Structure 1
Amino acid sequence: MTALTDIPGAVTDERGLRHVGSPVAEQRRLASGTALAPLGDRRVISVAGEDRRSWLDSLSSQALTHLAPGVSTELLILDPQGRVEHAASVVDDGEVTWLIVDAADAEALASWLTRMRFRLRVEVRDRSDELFVVGGTRAAVSKRRTVAPVWVDPWPDVSPGGWAYARVDPHPGRDRDWAEVILDAAEYENLLDEAARGEQQLAGLDAVEALRVAAWRPRVAIDADERLLPHEMDWLRTAVHLSKGCYRGQETVAKVHNLGHPPRRVVALQLDGSDNVLPARGDAVRAGDDVIGAITSVAVHHEEGPIALALVKRNAPEGLELIVDTADGPLAASAETVVPADAGATASVPRLPRLGRRRAAE
């Protein structure tokens, strides 16, 4: 049986295939549709049963009750305070709802969903040991024999019921053509066999991440901490339906969006690449001597060079040169606003006249 380590030039770690010799060139191949990426850091959960869509609708941030077969979307599972606990890419085939999730989150999400079944007609299965996820352009992944419909990333379009905070036009994710497919063991081995024979080009996770970060696309296993609100990553645009029925965390989502502001906001960083220094997740971001936030994602992009996403305080100053404190010393960075400081407060709430004024008018 062919393994990833049998692919010429393959470099792997516990997450899977990191690269096959040239992460920068692999980004170009992925974007052009000539390469596929085995996503060893993604897993599959299936949800079957007559009540599956309405049940997932009641638990998550997304409207799923009437999700049509083959339509791609994504959901978030929030805690009672509206903070992100889990995320999943979602596609239904008419009989089963398929969830593609980050590997680090798969076991916890499957366990939580199982506990929430009660007496409903649903069956939750963690399929991580038998199914595999592969990513690439829509045309490239559609050539494979798949277990489920192709999941096409809706980012950065604003899904029905969603809301966009980023004001740039065009959005940097506009031209990112990204899709993921679920393969059984036989088809996955066919893919690796073709790659070992030189008949199919592969790309690694380093290339996948670079294209994601450049598109400002959030990912729960990397960008989320224990207090992340979806507003802070501009995640309302694809993962939250603002006018659907009740779900856990909805009150906070509505209150922050309509009446308040998210306490933090994501920015995109262009990093100084002159010394070949890259920050790590969690490294502090400073404006002068003031720590204003921390790095969430880092990558080296084939056109933009070293880039990152960072969560900073809502009132962090804009337009200033920033400093990232890395293990190798300070690193200069310039920031582009993704979520603006005035995001939220979208409701027009009329101010009531004072009691004395009402009486005078009477």
Structure 2
Amino acid sequence: MTDLPPLYFSSLKPAACIRVSGEDAATYLQGQFSNQLERSERCAVTYGFWLSYKGKVEADSFVLACEDGTFLLLSYDCNASQLIEKLEHNIIADDVTLEDLTGQFVLWVLGGKKAPLFFEHVEVEVPQETVFTHAKEGYLFHGKHLREPHYDWLVPKDAFDLKVELEVWGKLKAVEIDLESARVLARVPAVPKDIGPGELPQEGGLADVGVSLSKGCYLGQEVMSRLNSMGSTQRQLYGVSFFGGIPQLPAKLFYEGRCVGELRSAAQSEQGSVGIALLKKRVGELTPILSLGENDTPCVVVNSCLTLLK
């Protein structure tokens, strides 16, 4: 993994930003979301999944509990219209309204050990890990792009330009990073790219961060409980490294002439290319050298299971 600068930033257009309101919003979301939303904290932020009845990951999101009783769903990469369709499908007699706000927001990402100095300069309160604070007409909370602490800053479009603010401040040089490459180099799984509708949270080592085993019934809950008590999955995400260019993704991976998984994400590093691959565990545990074609020379080195990188 490449060391990140003392102060870095990036920006992205979130794939989904949905406001959920109505008298039954809290109860409805609690019965659909994989993680515990009944929280005592004010301005709580919860990360989790929207599962199928088979426990497969159809989408992920943060859920921000706003003071007015509404909720804001934010997903980095899961399509807003598809998420709304899934949620609307399960609304029967509930008083719940879904409003797509995706095009109205931009997501800034700020991190590095010097980030608190900038927040102090702009007089913004740094949030605790499980809550958000209001900042510049938006919401500031801990992100999940990387393994080291960093912040997501969701603000209305054109309301705030973090890059300009950092330049005006000028006390420290802020480096704009390629967030996707940094994510892959840090071996952080992304939904739906690495773990999606065909996979379980456990296959990406994501159950600990997005699945509650103590809350009441929710869609996919029986499968989550069964996996926790009766055994493990047959597949797992692994970090891999290889030389050469990045193939078109996803790319099948072969061992001894048999397809054993897929390379899902990849990025270039100074030492070559690195990636995240979904592999059969019985093969991944051997830490073998895989090939990108059935008859190609083996070149993909399996490094470690992603669950060991927490």
Which of the five TM-score ranges fits, normalised by the shorter chain? 0.7 to 0.9
**Correspondence for 1:97:** 71
Tell me if 1:153 matches 2:143. yes
**Correspondence for 1:28:** 4
SS of aligned partner of 2:276: strand
Instruction: Report how far residue 287 of structure 1 moved.
Output: 2.4
Distance in 2 between residues matched to 1:201 and 1:246, nearest whole Å: 45
Out of 194-203 and 78-87, give the one that drifted further.
Answer: 194-203
Distance in 1 between residues matched to 2:302 and 2:154, nearest whole Å: 36
Instruction: Report how far residue 305 of structure 1 moved.
Output: 4.5
Tell me if 1:312 matches 2:279. yes
Select 1:280's aligned residue among 242, 248, 266.
248
Q: For 1:53-109, what per-residue CA distance to the aligned partner results, in whole angstroms no more than 9, with x for missing partners?
A: 332111011110225233332121111111111110223232232221134521111
Distance in 2 between residues matched to 1:309 and 1:28, nearest whole Å: 19
Distance 1:229-1:104 versus aligned 2 partners, 3 A rule = closer
Tell me if 1:180 matches 2:152. yes
**Correspondence for 1:75:** 48
Amino acid corresponding to residue 336 of structure 1 in structure 2: N
**Correspondence for 2:61:** 88
Q: Is contact 1:68-1:92 (8 Å) kept?
A: no
**Correspondence for 1:127:** 101
SS of aligned partner of 1:307: strand
Instruction: Report how far residue 133 of structure 1 moved.
Output: 1.2
Amino acid corresponding to residue 306 of structure 1 in structure 2: S
Select 1:294's aligned residue among 259, 262, 267.
262
Query: Normalized against structure 1, the TM-score is what?
Result: 0.69
Q: Is contact 1:44-1:101 (8 Å) kept?
A: yes
Q: Is contact 1:279-1:295 (8 Å) kept?
A: no
SS of aligned partner of 2:282: coil
Instruction: Report how far residue 258 of structure 1 moved.
Output: 1.4
Instruction: Report how far residue 196 of structure 1 moved.
Output: 9.2
Amino acid corresponding to residue 182 of structure 1 in structure 2: L
Identity level (%): 19
Select 2:305's aligned residue among 297, 315, 338.
338
Amino acid corresponding to residue 43 of structure 2 in structure 1: G
Q: For 1:312-342, what per-residue CA distance to the aligned partner results, in whole angstroms no more than 9, with x for missing partners?
A: 1122153443224169x656122133267xx
SS of aligned partner of 2:152: strand
Q: Is contact 2:9-2:174 (8 Å) kept?
A: yes
**Correspondence for 1:256:** 227
Instruction: Report how far residue 239 of structure 1 moved.
Output: 0.5
Q: Is contact 1:284-1:295 (8 Å) kept?
A: yes
Tell me if 1:212 matches 2:188. no
**Correspondence for 1:246:** 217
Select 1:321's aligned residue among 288, 291, 305.
288
- Which runs of 5 or more structure 2 residues have no equivalent in the other structure? 125-134
How many residue pairs get matched?
A: 287
Distance 1:56-1:333 versus aligned 2 partners, 3 A rule = same
In the TM superposition, 1:196-211 aligns within 5 A as: 203=176, 207-211=178-182
**Correspondence for 2:27:** 54
Instruction: Report how far residue 230 of structure 1 moved.
Output: 0.7
Query: Normalized against structure 2, the TM-score is what?
Result: 0.79
Structure number, greater radius of gyration: 1
Distance 1:132-1:197 versus aligned 2 partners, 3 A rule = same
SS of aligned partner of 1:316: helix
Distance 1:326-1:289 versus aligned 2 partners, 3 A rule = closer
Q: For 1:262-301, what per-residue CA distance to the aligned partner results, in whole angstroms no more than 9, with x for missing partners?
A: 12111111223xxx41233221222232221101111124
SS of aligned partner of 1:242: coil
**Correspondence for 1:269:** 240
Amino acid corresponding to residue 113 of structure 1 in structure 2: L
Q: Is contact 1:44-1:127 (8 Å) kept?
A: yes
Distance 1:141-1:218 versus aligned 2 partners, 3 A rule = farther
Distance 1:67-1:149 versus aligned 2 partners, 3 A rule = farther
- Runs of 4+ deviating beyond 6 Å: 195-200
- Which runs of 5 or more structure 1 residues have no equivalent in the other structure? 1-23, 157-172, 341-362
Distance in 2 between residues matched to 1:140 and 1:133, nearest whole Å: 20
SS of aligned partner of 1:221: coil
Distance 1:317-1:44 versus aligned 2 partners, 3 A rule = closer
Amino acid corresponding to residue 16 of structure 2 in structure 1: R
Q: Is contact 2:239-2:306 (8 Å) kept?
A: no
Amino acid corresponding to residue 4 of structure 2 in structure 1: R
Instruction: Report how far residue 152 of structure 1 moved.
Output: 0.8
Tell me if 1:113 matches 2:81. no
